[in-house]
A and B are shown apart, each in its own frame.
Chain A
Amino acid sequence: MALTKDEVLAGLAELINDETGIATDSVELDKSFTDDLDIDSISMMTIVVNAEEKFDVKIPDEEVKNLTTVGDAVTYIVNAQS
C-alpha cells in the first residue's frame, strides 16, 4: 500500500539522519537539501539510493537534479509509488 506524504517524510528524515546525522525533526518539507541542510552531492546520492530501496521506487539521475527541497523529494516518491 502506498505511503502517505507524512509517512514518506518521516522515512526520508530517518534516511537523512542515518547519512548525515541531521536531527529528524529538522527535516521539513520546505528545507533545501543544499542551502538549509548542507547535504553535499555525494550524500544526496546515497540518500536517493537508500530511498529507492526503502520506498521501492526508481529515482533516475536526471530527476535527482530537480529535487531541490525535501518537499520535492517527498512529492516525487509519493507520486512514484502510485
Chain B
Amino acid sequence: MPHDPRLTQAVGPQYTRILSLGAARGDLDVPNDDIIGPIDSSDEWIRQRTGIISRKRASKNVTAADLAVAAGSEAIEKAGIDPSRVGAVLVSTISGTMATPSVSTLVAERLGVGTVPAYDVNAACAGYTYGIAQADALIRSGLAEHVVVIGAEKLSEMVDPTDRSISFLLGDGAGAAVVGPSDEPAISPTVWGSDGSHWSSIWMTGTFQQWRDGELESFPTMRQDGQTVFRWAVWEMAKVARQAIEVAGIRPEDLTAFVPHQANMRIIDELAKQMKLPESVLIGRDIATTGNTSAASIPLATHRLLEEHPEASGGLSSRSASERAWSTAPRWYGSPRIRGGHFEPSPRPSQSRR
C-alpha cells in the first residue's frame, strides 16, 4: 500500500465545563490593627476605603506552590477523576520565587498527575480567567482531556509594610478548578486583552538587577496608582463584562452570580452598580477576610459563594478581572456535590435553571 503522508490533527470535544473548585488560604489571619503602624493609618480608614477587615497570609515556610497544591488537590478530588486523566496544569501566579523552573511543574509533580505539560501564566489578577480560557482551548482542540487551572499567590512576600498604596490590600491564597469535557455549552467565549499603555499603573519599585547592583534602597516591592487602577477596574471592566455577557448570547437577568476580581470592596460595589445587575444576581465577595489575592481571588470568591449558596451550582456566572489585562466570560458553573459520602454529578443547567 502506498504511504499516505496526510497528517493527523488533534480533535477534541465540542464543549467544556468547570467540574470542580478547590481553595486554600494563608494560615494566618492578619487584622488591620496588625499592619496600621508602619502606614500610619487606622482600622477604620482601611475598612472605609477597602472593605477589608483582615487578610489571609501564609507563614514564612509556606509557598505559593504549597497553596496551589492544596487547592489543586481539593479540585481534583471533587471532580471525581483519577489524576492520570489530567492532561495539563496551568498555574497563574506572580509569586514564583525563581525565574525558572516554573511553579506549575513543581505543582504538577506534587499533584501526582505525571509528566503532563505544565506552565505558568503571568497575568496578575486576570491570571485565573486567562487560565480558564486556555484550558477550554486545550480541551476543545484535543490536547488534554482535563486541565487543572490554579491561581496561586503569596503576595505578602512582595509588599513593603510602609507602603500606603497597595500593601494593606494584599493576601495569600490559591484557588483551583478542574476543567473537562461537557455534553453541552458550559464555558462561553472569553473576552480578553491587555493594555500596555497602563503598564506602570501597578509596578515594582525596581528590578532584581538594580537590587543586585545596589541601586535600590530596599528589595523591590509592589506599588500602584490607586485612582488610575480604580477607574480602569470599574468603568473599563464594566464594558468588558457587558461584552462577555453579550457574546455569550445571554442577558444580565440570566445570571445566577457575578464574581469580579476581589481588588477592593469599593471596586466590587461600584462595578456591580455599573453593571446594573438585577437584585437576584449573587455577587462574589471574599475580600473582607481574605484580602486581594490577585490570580487566586476569583476562584476563592467563587468557591466561597458556592459554599454559602450551593443552590447556585449549575447556574450562570460571569467572572471579570482587571488591571492591565482582563478576561471575562459567563460560564455554566458546575461543582460536584457530595451526598451520602459519594460524588454526584452536578445538576445540568437545564435541570437547575429551567
Which residues of A approach B to under 8 Å, CB–CB? 40-42, 44-46, 48-49, 61, 64-65
Known: A46-B270, A49-B235. A40 touches B48 (CB 8 A): yes
**Are A45 and B231 in touch, CB under 8 angstroms?**
yes
Q: How far is the CB of B296 from chain A (nearest CB, A)?
A: 23
Residues of A within 8 A of B49 (CB): 40-42
Q: How far is the CB of B23 from chain A (nearest CB, A)?
A: 28
* Chain A binder among B77-85, B207-215, B220-228: B220-228
- Classify the interface of chain B: helix, strand, loop or mixed: helix
**Whole-angstrom CA separation of A45 from B266 in the bound complex:** 12
Q: How far is the CB of B240 from chain A (nearest CB, A)?
A: 16
The number of chain B residues touching the other chain, given as a range, is 10 to 19
Residues of A within 8 A of B270 (CB): 46
Residues of A within 8 A of B230 (CB): 41-42, 45
What are 8 sample pairs from A and B whose C-beta atoms fall under 8 A apart? A40-B48, A41-B230, A42-B226, A45-B230, A48-B231, A49-B235, A61-B225, A65-B227
**Are B227 and A44 in touch, CB under 8 angstroms?**
yes
**Whole-angstrom CA separation of A49 from B270 in the bound complex:** 12
16 A-B pairs besides A45-B230, A46-B234, A46-B270 with CB distance below 8 A are: A40-B49, A41-B49, A41-B226, A41-B227, A41-B230, A42-B49, A42-B227, A42-B264, A42-B266, A45-B227, A45-B231, A49-B234, A49-B235, A61-B225, A61-B231, A65-B227
**Whole-angstrom CA separation of A61 from B230 in the bound complex:** 11
Query: What is the 8 Å Cβ interface bit string for chain B, positions 223-252, against chain A (1 contact, 0 not)?
Result: 001111011001100000000000000000
